[in-house]
């Protein structure tokens, strides 16, 4: 039994959810999201909750049960509050700037990196060493942050690179003479 899957997802008062067969559309103050459910789960909507249950007793049905419920909960949170990831840049001469629909990154390479901002994502640079990524789709926000971090992961000797805010980098000791 999935402990997560058993819980019903509450629909906030500012959100309208429309269930049409295996498709769910959620509209809120920040935008609109939709999802198509896998056939291994059954979804039922009451007045102000959505309940997910497995369709059968297979291992895949039980594993999809909790995941589909979490996707619905993330959609509800996304259209009401939104999601945000904060990246910090560490290193001499490393900086970032938003220019139109492109994030310009200077990360110690011989060239600048221009990363196009995906639609539905908002990127801000309050200062040269901070990047704030926000949007209503949790998966898209996390994927965009991971792609930007991938250009220069933090290295363990000096800690230079792009890290998530609050991320701990295990530091190594350098060579001894």
Q: Where are the domains of the chain?
A: 3-80, 83-164
Separation of first and last alpha carbons in the chain: 58
* Paired tokens of 157: 């000797």
Q: What is the mean pLDDT of residues 145-150?
A: 96
Q: How confident is the model at residue 121 (pLDDT cuts 50, 70, 90)?
A: very high
Instruction: Report percent pLDDT > 90 for the chain.
Output: 84
- The class of domain 3-80 in CATH terms is alpha beta
Q: Is the pLDDT of residue 1 over 70?
A: no
CATH number for 83-164 (one of 3.90.930.12, 3.90.10.10, 2.60.40.10, 3.40.50.11890): it is 3.90.930.12
Give 132 or 2, the one with higher predicted confidence: 132
* Paired tokens of 40: 């291994």
Same topology for domains 3-80 and 83-164, yes or no? yes
Asked if 120 and 135 touch (Cβ cutoff 8 Å), the reply is yes
């Amino acid at each position: 039994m999935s402990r997560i899957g058993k819980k019903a997802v509450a629909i906030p008062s500012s959100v309208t959810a429309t269930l049409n067969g295996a498709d769910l559309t959620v509209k809120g103050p920040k935008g609109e999201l939709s999802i198509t459910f896998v056939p291994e789960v059954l979804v039922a909507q009451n007045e102000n909750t959505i309940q997910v249950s497995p369709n059968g007793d297979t291992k895949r049905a039980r594993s999809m049960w909790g995941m589909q419920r979490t996707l619905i909960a993330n959609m509800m949170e996304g259209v009401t509050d939104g999601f945000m990831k904060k990246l910090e840049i560490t290193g001499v001469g490393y900086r970032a700037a938003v220019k139109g629909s492109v994030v310009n990154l200077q990360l110690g390479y011989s060239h600048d990196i221009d990363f196009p901002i995906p639609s539905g994502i908002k990127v801000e640079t309050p200062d040269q060493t901070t990047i704030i990524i926000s949007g209503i789709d949790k998966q898209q926000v996390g994927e965009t942050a991971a792609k930007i971090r991938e250009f220069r992961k933090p290295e363990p000797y000096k800690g230079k690179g792009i890290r998530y805010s609050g991320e701990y980098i295990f530091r190594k000791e350098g060579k001894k003479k």
